[in-house]
Amino acid sequence: MSENDVEKKVADRYLKREILGEGTYGVVYKAIDTKTGQTVAIKKIRLGKQKEGVNFTALREIKLLKELKDPNIIELIDAFPHKGNLHLVFEFMETDLEAVIRDPNIFLSPGDIKSYFQMTLKGLLVCHKKWVLHRDMKPNNLLIGSNGQLKLADFGLARIFGSPGRKFTHQVFARWYRAPELLFGAKQYGAGVDVWAAGCIFAELLNRRPFLQGDSDIDQLGKIFHKLGTPTPSQWPDLEWLPDFVEYSSQTAQPWRKLCPTASDDALDLLSKLFTYDPKTRITVQQALEHRYFTSVPLPTDPAKLPRPAPKRESHNPRTSDLHEGPTVLSPKKKARRVMPDREVFDGNAYHVDKIDQHGGEIRWAAGDNTSRNEQVPMSVDFSIFGAKPMSRPTINSADRSHLKRKLDLEFQHPE
Amino acid sequence: MAANFWNSSHYKQLFDQEEVDVVHPLDKEKGITLEDFKLIKMHMVIPICKLAQSVKVRQRVVATAVTYMRRLYTRKSMSEYDPRLVGPTCLYLASKAEESTVQARLLVYYIKKIYSDDKHRYEIKDILEMEMKILEALNYYLVVFHPYRSLPQFLQDAGMNDISMTQLTWGLVNDTYKMDLILIHPPHLIALACIYTASVYREKDKTAWFEELRVDMNVVKNIAMEILDFYESHRLITDERVAAAFNKLKP
């Protein structure tokens, strides 16, 4: 290959191009996969300052993305160490949902909104089915590819859940997308936190501006209650038991019709279910996808036909011609994705009374309720069996063994 | 992710016994036999447990670490991947993957405390370098399912969830990590084999319960047999035998 100063191959395979932005844990740059000709985005993961090897957040992302393969989830194509740093190779995505929402030149039809939101929920459903909480749902983590496919990205905060009783941190999500149970300090929470955030994204798609823009955790709750009303004990019985519960002066909910003036009745019904206060009765992603909103007209727009921001650089298709081209200078604006751009703060307009619709699903995540409790009990025992003197004290003495083996063999002479 | 073992990377990566029982050519050159190979892997579990005890991590982390170690040696040689470094590094990686991170310097501190000999002179940078190598060798697949998760549910369903039975089966599951079972069988079958072994051991007839399960009892029985074989051969292993196996790895 030509040893151009700027063009160099990483790991004998990737032709490095311009820097796309600064990620949560390192630089992201564009590259060409010489093996496939595909444009990719490579995250170079800085090794931690505290000499802690592979960044913990990066490791989470790798671990989960290796398990989650779906058209609506970003694909981790490859990972490799290079000069002591770990590099993650992702499919290259043209833009993200935040750029779409913010672009004043883009008109989103009801079908377009439906399509973008449906893809968001589909990606989320795959996560929840695999017991993964995303925990950082927001428009700029929803990337959009050249074919209009929306994909969930940035799994750096994601976690496996489903061990009831396991405590998690409530410091997750960008504040505007944080569910009320998190703002009240809940440490045991479930898929509902992603559902709330999805609701915020839906409202943001409809209104073209962030729905609940608090400037502190306290203010965030204030913004929520201002629009949706303070939750009553019947709406959310467990509320007062949450660690950081504080009472707010009572406010009544504004009608959804006023909160999202352009939305259809079906959309408003779905919204009200996504914004159910009690996480136990909040709609699940599966139920949301089955909501009539998605089957009523207008149907979701075909992803390939969705409006996207006009490419700021190359006017031609980058995939076909990039291979033999010199590097292009990049307008850094294109993908300073991880940095929250300054957004105007809109104050919720004051409207009055309505009641929050609280139909909802059954209690979720009840399965396997006893696991973690039982897990605690034997923990103290097991090391004495296994750890300290394992070779001299196996659980079953071998003296018992021949007798046992005979018995084992006899009992299932004729297995079904 | 309990509900989804069947579409996990763990399931897709299950091995056949014959694939696991291959001594790497580089190790073979040094005279390592299949028996040595198994013995060394079994003995690597001990320092992993000792370290885990010192740094206080959950049993699950130990189990994941041992699984990483066993997976690693299906692909890489012990000559290139020194067991004395691989053990602690697997624990380090597993602690991150299982969300209970242990600092590398703490591991190094305890390694030095537990082993004063100069075979264990490893520093933080050695662990971090090895971490990257192991990650690569594992092809970045880090999610592992364990029998511990289904064990209490099975015990409860079988009406055997008393303390004594729970402790016995839990201990049996722990011991299965001294074998390669976790690389070969789905974890819930390992759990059932442990329950089966325990029920026979405690002379509780659970045949009816087992027959109602929709699992291949032949597989469960075979795993149980293997567990018993392990306990049998265990008795015959002397410290000298283990030391001899490790000595062959010397450069």
A392 is written with which tokens? 């001299």
Model pTM?
0.80
Please provide the average confidence, as pLDDT, over all residues in chain A: 77
pLDDT above 60 for B50: yes
Give the other-Cβ count within 10 Å of A145's Cβ.
18
**Chain B window 174-193: which residues touch A at a Cβ cutoff of 8 Å?**
174-175, 177-178
**Chain A window 31-60: which residues touch B at a Cβ cutoff of 8 Å?**
47, 50-54, 56, 59
**Chain A window 76-135: which residues touch B at a Cβ cutoff of 8 Å?**
76, 79-81, 84, 86, 129-132
Model confidence over A19-69: pLDDT tens digits? 888 766 778 899 999 989 999 999 888 776 557 888 888 898 899 999 999
Model confidence over B135-183: pLDDT tens digits? 999 999 999 999 999 999 999 999 998 999 999 999 999 999 999 999 9
Question: What average pLDDT score do residues B87-104 get?
Answer: 94
Share of chain A above pLDDT 90, in %: 52
Torsion angle of alpha carbons A198, A199, A203, A208, nearest 10°?
Answer: -20
Question: What average pLDDT score do residues B46-74 get?
Answer: 95
Task: Judge whether A136 counts as a catalytic residue.
Answer: yes
pLDDT for the residue A399: 57
Containing H/E element for A44?
Answer: strand A39-45
**Of residues A56, A379, A401, nearest to B232 (C-beta):** A401
CB of A241 closer than 8 Å to CB of A219 = no
Give the other-Cβ count within 10 Å of A399's Cβ.
10
B33 is written with which tokens? 């036999």
Share of chain B above pLDDT 90, in %: 76
Model confidence over A67-92: pLDDT tens digits? 999 999 999 999 998 887 889 999 99
Q: Which long-range contacts (CB under 8 A, 24 or more apart) does A262-268 make?
A: A262/A206, A262/A207, A263/A206, A264/A110, A264/A293, A264/A296, A266/A291, A266/A292, A266/A293, A266/A296, A267/A110, A267/A113, A267/A202, A267/A206, A267/A293
SS3 A354: strand
Q: Give the Å distances, CA to CA, from B239 to B40, B244, B245.
A: 12, 9, 10
pLDDT above 50 for A349: no
DSSP string, A376-393: HHHHHHHHHHHTSSTTT-
Q: How many CB pairs under 8 A join A and B?
A: 188
pLDDT for the residue A170: 75
**Of residues A51, A160, A412, nearest to B104 (C-beta):** A51
CA–CA separation, A178 vs B43, rounded Å?
47
SS3 A363: coil
Q: Taking Cα atoms as reference points, which of B80, B87, B73 lies closest to residue B44?
A: B87
CA–CA separation, A139 vs A279, rounded Å?
22
Give the other-Cβ count within 10 Å of A11's Cβ.
13
pLDDT above 70 for A113: yes
Beta carbons within 8 Å of B127's beta carbon, 6+ residues apart:
A53, B85, B88, B89, B92, B104, B107, B108
Residue corresponding to tokens 């170079």: A44
pLDDT for the residue A330: 36
Using a 10 angstrom Cβ sphere, with 0-12 exposed, 13-18 middle and 19 or more buried, the burial of residue A314 is exposed
Count of alpha carbons within 13 angstroms of residue B148, beta-carbon side: 26
Q: Does B164 touch chain A (CB under 8 A)?
A: no
